[in-house]
Structure 1
Amino acid sequence: MIRKYTLMLIASCFYLGALAQTSSKTEVATPELVAQRELTKKDVVESYLQIKQALIVSDSLKAASSATQFVNSLTKFKFKKLTLEEMNNATGTRAALKELAKIVSSTHNITKQRKAFVEMTDHFWKIADKVKPLNTPLFLQMCTMTGETWVSDQEKIENPVYPKNMLTCGMIKAKLD
């Protein structure tokens, strides 16, 4: 009896999950909703880029405050038009990003911030195509000496991980238009 009830409960959860996924795909996108979504995407990307810029100039206080803004922006962002598997992956990636950003925001040790930022970038690039605002190219850049990556909205290389010794060390590894 308990097993039958458990199976029915599991089946109804799958049905509700599929129903929720279907209803979000059929949501009518009004111009206002589209504009609001683009603003949220812009906030996510800009706050990430502000962390990067703060690390380039070794401003740990600005990196911490920008990381807090990044967490807030990510929290507001809603993924759209994804399969259940893609949604699970994207929300897991967002959770990991938020935890790493909280590390950046909770310390003023620039070395720890940079280490967390490198990990953040790996996760951020996984969802970059979903959070990238329209008409904003994003570049995955890599330090050729260390292999560490970061995302930029410009082709110009400015290494946030080793700005003193390797500010211009790097190359463009990938691009999202």
Structure 2
Amino acid sequence: MKKIVVIAFIFLSTLTQAQLTSKEEVAPELVEKREAQKKEITNNYLALKNNLLVSDSMAVVKSAALLQQSLKNFRFKKLNLEQMNEATTKRKEIINLVAEVEATKNINKQRKIFETLSAKFWDLAPKFKVTDNTLYFQVCPMTNAVWVSDSKEIKNPYYPKNMLTCGAVKASL
């Protein structure tokens, strides 16, 4: 009986050690993959914003499709159940808004949807932000429309012809 207990103990110790070694070897790879996913989401959002700046509705549609796909592929980590449910709900709302942007080719409708999308995106921006990147929450004081940028420089995606530089940085991450 004692031999069985000792053998079982040795087996479990070896198994635990193998799992620890396995996790140590895989972790940097997973961290790198996750950072790439976060960068993809942020870059796709910024591409969408930048396409609104140049008033290219077809490019906005393409950017929206890419953003939608990258959001669907992302999984939240290090959240308790309540936080996970909240983040997942917000992500789904953003995905639905992105789908609305993708469904229309009218630049004014795209911009209107982008207002709501940007506010919701900012709520989850800490989860999507790449470690070595700063994001700025900007607002147009004339309309209170918000957007996220990777630059302090104001380039208003809602009124690029009339009020390109109208806005202010409200917060940063």
* TM tier relative to shorter chain: 0.7 to 0.9
| Correspondence for 1:60 | 57
Q: Deviations over 1:116-135 (max 9, x none)?
A: 11110111011000110111
Residue deviations 1:99-144 (CA, integer Å, cap 9, x gap): 0000111111001100111110111011000110111100000011
Task: Give % identity.
Answer: 47
The equivalences for 1:71-82 within 5 A come to 71-82=68-79
Runs of 4 or more, structure 1, over 3 Å off, are none
Which runs of 5 or more structure 2 residues have no equivalent in the other structure?
Answer: 1-22
Question: Match for 1:147 among 144, 147, 167?
Answer: 144
Matches within 5 A, 1:32-111: 32-111=29-108
Deviation of 1:145 after TM superposition, in Å, equals 1.1
Separation of aligned partners in 2, 1:69 and 1:124: 15
Alpha-carbon distance in 2 for matches of 1:146, 1:120:
15
Q: Which amino acid aligns with 1:91?
A: T
Q: Give CA-to-partner distance per residue, 1:28-77, whole Å, 9 cap, x none.
A: 76111000000000000000000000000000000000000001000111
Runs of 5+ in structure 1 lacking a partner? 1-26
Confirm or deny that 1:120 pairs with 2:117.
yes
**Shift in Å, 1:160:** 0.4
Secondary structure of the corresponding residue to residue 37 of structure 1: helix
Larger radius of gyration: 2
Q: 1:89 is matched by which residue type in structure 2?
A: E
Question: In the aligned structure 1, how far is the partner of 2:127 from the partner of 2:96?
Answer: 19
State the 1:165 CA deviation: 1.2
Counterpart among 161, 164, 167 of residue 170 in structure 1: 167
Task: Give the letter aligned to residue 59 of structure 2.
Answer: K
The answer for the alignment partner of 1:15 in structure 2 is none
Aligned to 1:157: 154
SS in structure 2 of the partner of residue 91 of structure 1: helix
Normalised TM-score (structure 1): 0.83
Superposition RMSD on alpha carbons, in Å?
A: 1.1
The count of aligned residue pairs is 150
